[in-house]
């Protein structure tokens, strides 16, 4: 099936190329002119604008990088790991493409670097963004005036410890004021994790050790289909799309369990997981009276997950442990805002509202285990109503922005049909933000910002159910988790080729995972989240200078936490992490593009986890384009020297856990992409509730 899929795709590519070669494609003259620009060291690719880092891609070497993921990987403070984008010190960002949110990870693979105009990294998001948004990526594309049919197809195959393959087909048809667009995606992924865990503690007054070994395979087959339309006339536009996602996994974990000097037990954990996800999105956008910009977004999302798990032992006295889990989630959300000039600046006012419901039906089918891990039916309902306003203005060399967000939240949590009064609550949040910047010249500027946010924990961590993880181990959520109150003070400056970011974050009631003894008739250890207070100071120094065809970039960083769980010395988590990264991108003649990136970090603490050092990790890729960039072939090597370290430890409530694990990060990926009349979508819809989407 895998080779047949590859053969069909290659056949499609050859047919499209024949059509392409027989027609003269109308190319935007602006693109032709920008491709001839030579970037010099006097024009930095990235500069500070207010509290945002703006990177110009058009006309730089990065326009030949490949897709949007390849571009982001070479920008300051941004990292890409297996197509997952993160911002240093701020986690996963909200990503927008031409003002609309990215709802599918595949979109960054679809968007080619040659069609990207600029990338803006917002490091101090204002009141118009959800409180859980710590950073925002805004990707702006070039104008493209090609009409008619546009098709792009990419096949990617990867070999690490196992083979994986995926195929993505994207199309759009433009005629007059209307656009029809769609995406089809299939992925077969197979990953392997192996390692061991050692728990050291004192139980009933005696030193005790509990250990496991594991060899986990995680095969997954997933598919995505998306179809939508867009209408645009003058300053008015509207559109909608429907997306369906399905994934099926059959995880298998072979390993052993042991306690003290007892003979290890062979253990086999097998399971099956099916997930279905529906998303409907619609929008309306208009400009009234040449200065009032009105925008509305509406979203519905429904998700269903069925999970079965079986744990068996090679011991006749131990009965197999079986459990089932069914989770249903739904989200209705709407966002309406108005932009207009006010007092010499730009003013935005709006509302963002949502209703979310998540039901989890967990069934423990083993009678003896059910005495301490009972079956349960939990139901969480939340109504959120928010109003926000923000204002920004330039005063000579000064720039000022300020915002305020009010949110009302009504949260109802029931267990087996009964309201949990300790968890259910009604909250009122008022969160301000302010940013002040000063512009010295084109290459020197500074910005100081303060932001307060209320961050709700993910629904997956609010469940009251417990999960069997071994004869002596339990995992679960914590329905009593409180909302995090975060204060973030940030200084950002740029001087010529250097940039400096300094962040101080004080988080009250954020959550961290702990391991502690769970009350039961035998030794049971529970891994679950609890609320903690954390302070963190981080600083990053970045140097970058485009040199003809070469763009080098060096980042040096340090993150210092302060956190305590109790009064004992082992409950302090304050070891800093030092890090570095060296990124290189080189554009060569005849359509070649090369990237070589190195990174590393010391051992240090992140909340209750102490991560081991990874001093040197290297990735490299080579890309070659053909037929006026219509066909691209890319070869990527990740973790070339197999030096990435994934070990970590946790020392909480008298239990020291050391986890030694090895992921299959080392490997080679080959991708082949063909584009026929590539054109960006004009769809302007955005997410009505980014925070609730992420929590689900």
pLDDT of residue 677: 63
d(CA 646, CA 550): 32
Angle, CA 185 vertex, CA 181 and CA 189 arms, to 5°: 160
CB-CB contact of 292 with 340 (8 Å)? yes
Extract the tokens encoding 188: 């077969």
In angstroms, the CA 439 to CA 408 distance is: 38
Beta strands, E only, 38-177: 46-49, 52-56, 78-81, 84-87, 94-97, 100-101, 116-122, 136-141, 148-159, 163-175
DSSP-derived secondary structure letter, 396:
T
Are 162 and 664 a contacting pair, CB within 8 Å? yes
| CB neighbourhood size of 81 (10 A) | 12
For residue 369, what is the DSSP state?
A: G
Pairing, β 418-419 against β 466-470: unpaired
d(CA 628, CA 347): 44
- Residue 455's pLDDT is 85
CA distances 628 to 21, 430, 632, 676, Å, are 10, 53, 10, 11
Predicted TM-score of the model (pTM)? 0.81
Q: Which helix (H) or strand (E) holds 360?
A: strand 345-364
- Nearest by Cα to 53 from 93, 103, 83, 113: 93
258 strand-pairing partners: 211
Per-10-residue mean pLDDT, the chain, length 696: 38 36 30 30 61 83 83 85 81 81 74 85 79 82 72 92 93 89 94 95 94 95 95 91 96 94 91 96 92 93 95 87 94 95 94 94 92 89 94 92 94 89 87 92 90 84 81 89 91 92 94 92 93 95 89 94 78 92 91 93 95 95 89 94 94 94 92 74 54 55
* 379 neighbors 401 (Cβ within 8 angstroms): no
User: Among 642, 649, 591, which residue's Cα sits nearest to residue 617?
Assistant: 642
Strands 345-364 and 321-342: antiparallel
Give the pLDDT confidence score for residue 693 in this predicted structure.
Answer: 52
As given in the structure block, the two tokens for residue 191 are 């990953």
Q: What gap in Å lies between CA 488 and CA 455, rounded to an integer?
A: 13
Q: Measured between alpha carbons, how far is 127 from 293 in angstroms, rounded to an integer? A: 18
Is residue 383 within 8 A of residue 390, CB to CB? The reply is no
**Taking the CB of residue 196, how many other CB atoms lie within 10 A of it?**
14
Please tell me whether residue 552 adopts helix, strand or coil conformation: strand
* C-alpha pair distances (Å), 61 with each of 594, 673, 681: 10, 20, 24
pLDDT of the residue at 176: 82
Beta bridge partners of 594: 586, 622
The C-alpha atoms of residue 635 and residue 619 are separated, in whole angstroms, by 11
DSSP 591: T
Report whether 155 contacts 167 (CB < 8 A).
Answer: yes
- Of the candidates 264, 210, 197, which has an alpha carbon nearest to the alpha carbon of residue 523? 210
**Collapsing DSSP states into helix, strand and coil, what is residue 421?**
coil
Nearest to 198 by CA among 188, 190, 189, 208: 208
Pull the structure tokens for residue 377: 């039916």
Q: Do the beta carbons of residue 91 and residue 134 sit within 8 Å? A: yes
Residue in the structure block whose two tokens are 């009122």: 428
Residue 401, C-beta contacts closer than 8 angstroms, at least 6 positions apart: 50, 51, 126, 390, 391, 392, 393, 433, 434, 435
Alpha carbons 509 and 338: distance in angstroms, whole number: 34
Distances (CA, A) of 357 to 409, 483, 694: 13, 18, 14
Looking at residue 93, what is its pLDDT?
87
Instruction: Print the SS3 string covering 475-540.
Output: EECCCCCCCEEEEEEEEEEEECCEEEEEEEEEEEEEEEEEEEECCCCCCCEEEEEEEEEEEEEEEE
Q: Give Cβ neighbours of residue 489 (< 8 Å, ≥ 6 apart).
A: 448, 449, 450, 503, 504, 505
Position 688 scores a pLDDT of 57
CA distance 92 to 75: 15
Residue 612 pLDDT: 96
Helix, coil or strand: residue 30: helix
């Amino acid at each position: 099936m895998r080779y047949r899929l590859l053969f069909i795709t290659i056949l499609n590519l050859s047919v499209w190329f024949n059509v392409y070669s027989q027609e003269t494609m109308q190319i935007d003259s602006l693109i032709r002119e920008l491709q001839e620009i030579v970037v010099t060291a006097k024009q930095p690719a990235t500069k500070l604008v207010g509290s945002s880092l703006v990177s110009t891609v058009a006309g730089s070497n990065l326009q030949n990088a490949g897709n949007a993921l390849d571009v982001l990987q070479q920008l300051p403070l941004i990292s890409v790991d297996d197509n997952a984008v993160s911002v240093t010190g701020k986690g996963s960002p909200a990503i927008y493409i031409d003002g609309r949110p990215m709802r599918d990870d595949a979109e960054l693979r679809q968007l080619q670097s040659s069609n990207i105009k600029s990338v803006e990294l917002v490091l101090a998001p204002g009141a118009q963004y959800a409180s859980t948004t710590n950073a925002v990526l805004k990707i702006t594309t070039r104008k493209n005036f090609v009409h008619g049919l546009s098709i792009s197809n990419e096949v990617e195959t990867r070999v690490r410890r196992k083979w994986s393959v995926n195929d993505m087909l994207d199309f759009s048809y433009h005629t007059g004021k209307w656009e029809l667009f769609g995406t089809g995606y299939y992925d077969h992924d197979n990953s392997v994790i192996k390692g061991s865990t050692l728990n050291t503690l004192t139980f009933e007054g005696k030193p005790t050790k509990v250990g496991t070994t594991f060899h986990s395979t995680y095969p997954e087959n997933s598919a995505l289909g998306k179809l939508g339309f867009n209408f645009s006339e003058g300053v008015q536009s509207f559109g909608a799309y429907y997306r369906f996602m399905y994934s099926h996994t059959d995880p298998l974990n072979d390993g052993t369990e042991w306690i003290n000097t007892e003979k290890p037990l062979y253990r086999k954990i097998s399971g099956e997981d099916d997930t279905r996800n529906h998303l409907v999105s619609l929008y309306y956008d208009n400009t009234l009276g040449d200065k009032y910009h009105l925008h509305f977004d509406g979203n519905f999302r429904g998700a269903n997950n069925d999970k079965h798990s079986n744990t068996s032992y090679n011991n006749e006295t131990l009965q197999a442990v079986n459990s089932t889990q069914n989770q249903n989630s739904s989200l209705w959300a709407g966002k309406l805002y108005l932009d207009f000039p006010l007092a010499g600046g730009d003013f935005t006012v709006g509302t963002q509202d949502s209703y979310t419901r998540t039901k989890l039906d967990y069934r423990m089918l083993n009678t003896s285990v059910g005495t301490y891990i009972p079956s349960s039916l939990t139901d969480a309902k939340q109504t959120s109503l928010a109003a926000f306003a923000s204002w920004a203005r330039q005063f000579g060399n000064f720039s000022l922005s300020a915002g305020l967000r009010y949110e009302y939240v009504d949260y109802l949590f029931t267990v087996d049909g009964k309201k949990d009064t300790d968890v259910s609550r009604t909250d009122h949040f008022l969160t301000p933000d302010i940013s002040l910047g000063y512009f010295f010249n084109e290459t020197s500027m500074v910005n100081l910002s303060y932001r307060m946010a209320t961050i709700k924990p993910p629904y997956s961590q609010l469940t009251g159910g417990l999960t069997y993880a071994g004869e002596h181990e339990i995992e679960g959520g914590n329905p009593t988790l409180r909302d995090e109150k975060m204060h973030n003070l940030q200084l950002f400056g740029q001087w010529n080729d250097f940039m400096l970011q300094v962040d101080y974050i004080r988080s009250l009631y954020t959550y961290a995972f702990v391991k502690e003894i769970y009350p039961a008739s035998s030794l049971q250890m529970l891994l679950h989240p609890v609320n903690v207070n954390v302070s963190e100071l981080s600083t990053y120094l970045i140097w970058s200078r485009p040199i003809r065809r070469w763009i080098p970039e060096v980042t040096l960083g340090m993150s210092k936490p302060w956190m305590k769980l109790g009064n004992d010395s082992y409950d302090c988590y304050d070891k800093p992490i030092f890090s570095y990264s060296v990124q290189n991108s080189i554009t060569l003649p005849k359509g070649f593009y090369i990237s070589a990136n190195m990174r590393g970090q010391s051992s240090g603490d992140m909340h209750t986890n102490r991560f081991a050092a990874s001093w040197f990790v290297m990735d490299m890729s080579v890309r070659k384009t053909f037929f006026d960039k219509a066909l691209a072939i890319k070869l990527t090597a990740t973790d070339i020297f197999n030096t990435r370290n994934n070990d970590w430890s946790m020392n909480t409530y008298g239990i020291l856990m050391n986890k030694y694990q090895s992921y299959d990060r080392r490997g080679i990926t080959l991708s082949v992409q063909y584009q026929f009349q590539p054109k960006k979508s004009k769809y302007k819809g955005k997410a009505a509730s980014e925070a609730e989407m992420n929590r689900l």
